[in-house]
């Protein structure tokens, strides 16, 4: 009796320590708002990220330091709009073969251990050597992530359940006017402008073979 109880306890300890050795990242909440502080080789920006999985949409509103505001609006049908709301009235769109990031997009990431980042003790994973992801050990909230390009993201707020009003998701009318100037420039922006998701979802969505 005693030995089988001991054995069961030992087994329990083994199983739980195996689980503790290799935690998995929390799925993204279905809807949240986050303010992201971005440093890309010294170019700073703030991103208002509105992730809205049930409505199939994702928004990055990008404020470059002392610069312009860029709107990167993505729909789950693969259509994205990238525009300004200033007098320049620029808009480009793209049709990608993947939608927005799935809540479980971090599944299959490789666990790298724990590290302190921005003053938070984090579990760290990497996925496809494309992204390094840091999640608070206690709250399971993302704290930081970093792309292979060196773009570094610090999560300043993380409001689970926050949803941006529908009217804010309407791309401006000049996004729907056919104009000579409206050639798709997204591929040129991929590395140099502050947005990140199309590149990210392109790779994680499997449209690029790694």
Ligand X SMILES: *[C@@H]1O[C@H](CO)[C@@H](O)[C@H](O)[C@H]1NC(C)=O
Residues 176-195 that bind ligand X (CB under 6 A): none
Give the CA distances from residue 185 to residues 69, 83, 103, 173, 201, in Å, rounded to whole numbers and listed in that order.
17, 11, 28, 18, 18
Q: Tokens in use for 161?
A: 């359940």
Q: How far is the CB of 105 from ligand X (least distance, A)?
A: 20
Q: Least CB distance from residue 42 to ligand X, whole Å?
A: 5
**Which lies closer to ligand X via its Cβ, residue 39 or residue 182?**
39
Q: Tell me which of 24, 39, 63, 84 binds ligand X, using CB under 6 A.
A: 39
Report DSSP state, residue 169.
G
Question: Quick one: 26 or 44, whose CB is closer to ligand X?
Answer: 44
Within 147-195, residue ranges assigned H as helices are 186-192
Minimum Å gap between C-beta 31 and ligand X is 17
State how far the Cα of 24 lies from the Cα of 110, in Å rounded to an integer. 9
The footprint of ligand X on residues 59-78 (CB under 6 A) is: 75, 77
Closest to ligand X by CB, 130 vs 169, is: 169
Supply the minimum distance, in Å, between the C-beta of residue 8 and ligand X.
51
Largest CA distance in the chain: 82
Q: Which is nearer to ligand X, 91 or 106 (CB)?
A: 91
Q: What share of the chain is helix, strand, coil (3-state, %, to 5)?
A: 20, 40, 40
Q: Buried (b) or exposed (e) across 187-200, using 16+ Cβ within 10 A?
A: eebeeebbbbbbbb
Selection from 122, 125, 121 nearest residue 107 by Cα: 125
Q: Measured from the CB atom, is 25 or 82 closer to ligand X?
A: 82
91: closest CA among 190, 181, 187, 194? 181
Select from 20-28, 37-45, 98-106, 194-202 the region that touches ligand X (CB under 6 A): 37-45
In the complex, minimum distance from the CB of residue 49 to ligand X, in angstroms, rounded to a whole number: 18
79: contact with ligand X by CB under 6 A: yes
CB of 158 to ligand X, least distance (A): 19
Interface residue with ligand X among 4, 20, 42, 166 (CB under 6 A) is 42
Handedness of CA 13, 14, 16, 21 (dihedral sign): positive
Judged by the rule CB under 6 A, the positions of this chain that interact with ligand X are 39, 41-42, 44, 75, 77, 79
């Amino acid at each position: 009796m005693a030995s089988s109880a001991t054995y069961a306890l030992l087994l329990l300890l083994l199983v739980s320590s195996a689980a503790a050795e290799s935690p998995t990242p929390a799925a993204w909440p279905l809807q949240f708002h986050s303010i992201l502080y971005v440093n890309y080789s010294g170019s700073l920006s703030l991103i208002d990220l509105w992730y809205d999985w049930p409505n199939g949409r994702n928004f990055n509103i990008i404020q470059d330091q002392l610069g312009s505001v860029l709107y990167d609006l993505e729909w789950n049908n693969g259509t994205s709009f990238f525009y300004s709301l200033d007098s320049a009235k620029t808009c480009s769109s793209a049709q990608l073969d993947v939608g927005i990031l799935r809540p479980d997009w971090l599944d299959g990431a490789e666990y790298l251990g724990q590290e302190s980042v921005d003053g938070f003790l984090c579990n760290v994973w990497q996925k496809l050597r494309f992204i390094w992801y840091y999640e608070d050990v206690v709250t399971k909230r993302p704290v930081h992530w970093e792309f292979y390009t060196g773009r570094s993201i610090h999560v300043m707020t993380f409001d689970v359940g926050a949803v941006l009003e529908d009217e804010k998701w309407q791309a401006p009318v000049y996004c729907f006017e056919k104009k000579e100037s409206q050639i798709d420039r997204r591929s040129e922006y991929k590395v140099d402008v502050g947005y990140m998701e199309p590149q990210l979802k392109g790779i994680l969505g499997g449209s690029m073979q790694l």
